[in-house]
Amino acid sequence: MSSSAAVLAALSSFVEPLIGSDLAGAGVPIEVDTNARRATLTFGFHLGDYRAELLAALQQHLAAVLPGANVAANIAIELRTQVSAQAVQKNLQPLPGVKNILAVASGKGGVGKSTTSVNLALALQADGARVGLLDADVYGPSQPLMLGSKERPTSPDGKRMRPILAHGLQAMSIGFLMDSDSQPAIWRGPMATQALWQLLTETMWDDLDYLVVDLPPGTGDIQLSLSQKFPVAGSVIVTTPQDIALLDARKGLEMFRKVGIPVLGVIENMSTHICSNCGHEEAVFGSGGGDRLAHDAGTELLGSLPLDIRIRQQADSGTPTVAADPGGALAQRYRQIARLAAARLAYGAAAKLSFPTISSVDD
């Protein structure tokens, strides 16, 4: 039988693909009982259906590292999750009821940012997280349509609003407060910024692991105000492979960096077009643009999504892809991207700076 110290050392050396480093370097807490029969690992992001794959990989790693036949088979591994509030900009504190704000941005409109935002929120939720969605585009709110909800928020005290519940998400949008879908918000910049601040701070968010904020495109007043006043833990940039989209996406990426908000990575949307008749896949907007942007900016490509008519149809019908077809290939792409973003949020910077919390405990 291997000692608990040997099991600790073996598990600590396992390189976790989503984290991108060994568990020791990432600071993943590991506990092994004194009999070396049970090990408990606590990850900072929800594992979802990746849990079985990770468990099998850990068992295989133990079998390869520990001496003796069938030693690893006698060690029970338990995987736990504890999402913690990550660091935010200087002099700001996390929002009550929200552990982490995740901003989804684009340099220009028309790249599918809002569709990506709602599906990322649903994907994080599908993995087991408590998730909210804030529609920060006060001029052109689209999330009420995509969520299929025309409810109006209620207030228990006349001061704060309960979020709308849609597909399990806690959601808020100026669109929920308007009398009709065609009613415009004719506001100057400061008024729009104040409206967004109220939506964020006067909504009764209930114990969220992540609040996904669907930002309007560009780098204007709302984006700057959010990056300076709102406690944002991380950001994701959505782009298409086109050169003009990449140029504008780079501006958004650099804006976040200048105000101290980590950029978790780039999502390349509409990377290829899939023909609904024959299934032929073609890079109509070019290829490799998102990967080049991520490489040049020193971040990474979280994943690519196709230009598929089903994504548009499902969003327009009020049931986005991850909710409409949770077992489908498109939903799995969103879930893989969301899981990688969550892992980067939990360990992206810390993995290089911290040491593991490892201890032996009695069973």
pTM of this structure: 0.89
Over residues 274-289, the mean pLDDT reads 73
C-alpha closest to that of 45 among 81, 88, 20: 81
Give the side-chain half-sphere CA count within 13 A for 160. 11
Integer Cα distance of 286 and 282 in angstroms? 9
141-171: pLDDT as tens digits: 899 999 999 899 999 888 899 999 999 999 9
Number of helices (H), then strands (E), in the chain: 12, 16
Fold of 4-82+350-361: Alpha-Beta Plaits (3.30.70)
Confidence of residue 357 (pLDDT cuts 50, 70, 90): very low
pLDDT of 181 strictly over 80 = no
Instruction: For 98-326, give the CATH class.
Output: alpha beta
Residues 6+ apart with CB under 8 A from 1: 35, 36, 68, 71, 74
92-104: pLDDT as tens digits: 888 899 999 999 9
Q: What is the pLDDT of residue 272?
A: 79
Helix axes 289-296, 243-258, angle to 10 degrees: 30
Confidence of residue 188 (pLDDT cuts 50, 70, 90): low
Over residues 328-333, the mean pLDDT reads 96
Looking at the chain, which residues constitute the CATH 3.30.70 domain(s)? 4-82+350-361
Stated as kind and residue range, the H or E segment containing 309 is: helix 309-316
Strand (E) positions, 27-141?
A: 30-33, 38-43, 76-81, 98-105, 131-135
Mean pLDDT comparison of 36-40, 123-127, 181-185, 345-349, highest-scoring range: 123-127
Is the Cα torsion angle 50, 55, 60, 65 positive or negative in sign? positive
pLDDT of 362 strictly over 50 = no
Integer Cα distance of 115 and 286 in angstroms? 21
Q: What is the pLDDT of residue 352?
A: 36
Looking at the chain, which residues constitute the CATH 3.40.50.300 domain(s)? 98-326
Residue owning tokens 């504190």: 93
